[in-house]
Amino acid sequence: MSETPYQQLERRFKRLSALGEVQAVLHWDMAAMMPRGGGEARAGQLAELKAVRHGLLTAPETGELLDAAEDADGLKGWQPANLREMRRLWTKATALPEGLVVALSKACSACEMVWRTARPEADFAAVKQTLEEVLALTREAAAAKAEKLGLSLYDALLDDYEPSGRTADIDPVFAELEDFLPGLLSDALDAQAAQPKAILPEGPFPEEKQKALGVRLMEALGFDFDHGRLDISLHPFCGGTPDDVRITTRYDEADFTSSLMGVLHETGHALYERGLPKQWRGQPVGEALGMSIHESQSLLVEMQVCRSRAFLGYAAPLMREAFAAESKDGDPAWGPENLYRLYTRVKPGFIRVDADEVTYPLHVIVRYRLEKAMIEGDMEIADLPAAWNDGFKELLGLTPSTDREGCLQDLHWFDGAWGYFPTYTLGAMTAVQLFEAAKKAVPEIEPAIAKGDFKPLFGWLKTHVHTKGSLLTANELLIEATGKPLDPKIFKAHLKARYLG
């Protein structure tokens, strides 16, 4: 019997998925293994792979098969959702004329290169013109996508990172945070000042000991080293493929706390990838859902689980054993309560990636406001530094002394990632909402965490998040898992309980 159009599409998307996995392995290798001199050839390999994948996806035959499969009957179970995802990928891939794709890719590479020296030199003027080119081409791409998808310019970009994410939903949520967070921050700082000061354990902390502790906790959380690795890279990330998921970190021998929490964060991403539905592997519906859900899984592990009193009660003795086996039992630096204070310390600062749980959303909201305005044509690049500093002063009460700790700090815009920033905070809020629902549904989750047993937690997450792949939208998933769409009240209650309680 010959294959149906849908079956032919499954074969075609399986190939696309395998080539996508190849890209992921090459990216991991580039960051963690590749010698510097391999860069030029690697760029060529990645460019050819990208072109091959683009060609496969946008071939006329793919469009014809989609039309035929949509007209046919007989799809079962997850297949209609898979066909919907195929169509979505095809629509996006065919929305942009090839010339624009190439121009945008070149502009982003050029801009990133200028940014790499402009940032340390805090020299916004140096990068202004090339950033203007990136913005102009990004807006052109947004317009092409917006027309095909029936969306606003900003939503057309956001949709690449957060499928079905819309400013109409995000705006009221962020407005509620804007009202709430500055007051909470001030109260949290007061509460913190009334507490004993957190003590940073004294090093040095040799790299191999940090790695051994990281591996031990990763394994406790359920990371399977038969299906993954932990390595070193300049910028930590979770890469590889669902069956061979590779996370990276970097070690500071003077302070283990940040690297360790980074490892646990990436482990959250990794366990999501590993938990994606095996029976849909290689198909679009089997892929991770979007950035807010992905970030919710890393932040649930890092921020909700691993920075909790329950987890630190379990992990503190392991940390002491790893680094200070000979220290006295009563050394206050290694006490769970001190480590909890350390890991929940609030401190307004300029740099997003160093921000705590309370101030992080404010960093995001500053960026979200600005990128929306620039994409919708309401603001010029020339006005960015001043607008950044105004927004930062308004929301965080601080004024960056240079653009290095202001609008030059993040790669995103310079590399063409517009519409990405809100997913960080959507992810943080989603993490809290999922964790609260999980604890309510399975009361043993928290006592188990205190004993280093994470099975009850991940049992719930697998069922309600990981194995759903891309079957639902993020909001549908939240409603099924927690009974309601994203609700800022849950996030606010969590922050009050943790930072004022």
Site of interaction with a second copy (CB under 8 A): 14-15, 18-19, 21-22, 25-26, 29, 33-38, 40-42, 44-45, 47-49, 51-52, 224-229, 240-244, 281-282
Give me the residues paired with residue 229 across strands. Answer: 246
For 240, residues 6+ apart whose C-beta sits below 8 A from its C-beta are: 24, 25, 28, 228, 229, 246, 273
Question: Structure tokens of 359?
Answer: 């101030």
Toward a second copy, which CB reaches closer, 24 or 305?
24
Question: Structure tokens of 415?
Answer: 């590399």
- Residue the block writes with tokens 């188990």: 448
Write out the catalytic residue numbers.
Answer: 266
Rounded to a whole number of angstroms, the minimum distance from the CB of residue 49 to a second copy is 7
Toward a second copy, which CB reaches closer, 43 or 212?
43
Toward a second copy, which CB reaches closer, 18 or 500?
18
CA separation (Å) from 188 to 275, 336, 360, 396, 413? 36, 20, 14, 13, 32
**244-249 and 238-241 beta bridge pairing:** antiparallel
Neighbours of 72 (CB within 10 A): 12
Toward a second copy, which CB reaches closer, 179 or 225?
225
Rounded to a whole number of angstroms, the minimum distance from the CB of residue 36 to a second copy is 5
Contact 248, 31 (CB under 8 A): yes
Toward a second copy, which CB reaches closer, 38 or 317?
38
What is the C-alpha to C-alpha distance for residues 334 and 319, in angstroms, rounded to an integer?
Answer: 8
Rounded to a whole number of angstroms, the minimum distance from the CB of residue 24 to a second copy is 10
Residue in 290, 240, 245, 281 with CA at minimum distance from that of residue 13: 281
Element (H, E) at 228: strand 228-232
3-state helix, strand, coil in the chain (%, to 5): 70, 5, 30
Toward a second copy, which CB reaches closer, 18 or 386?
18
Rounded to a whole number of angstroms, the minimum distance from the CB of residue 270 to a second copy is 12
| DSSP single-letter state for residue 201 | P
Rounded to a whole number of angstroms, the minimum distance from the CB of residue 84 to a second copy is 24
Rounded to a whole number of angstroms, the minimum distance from the CB of residue 161 to a second copy is 25
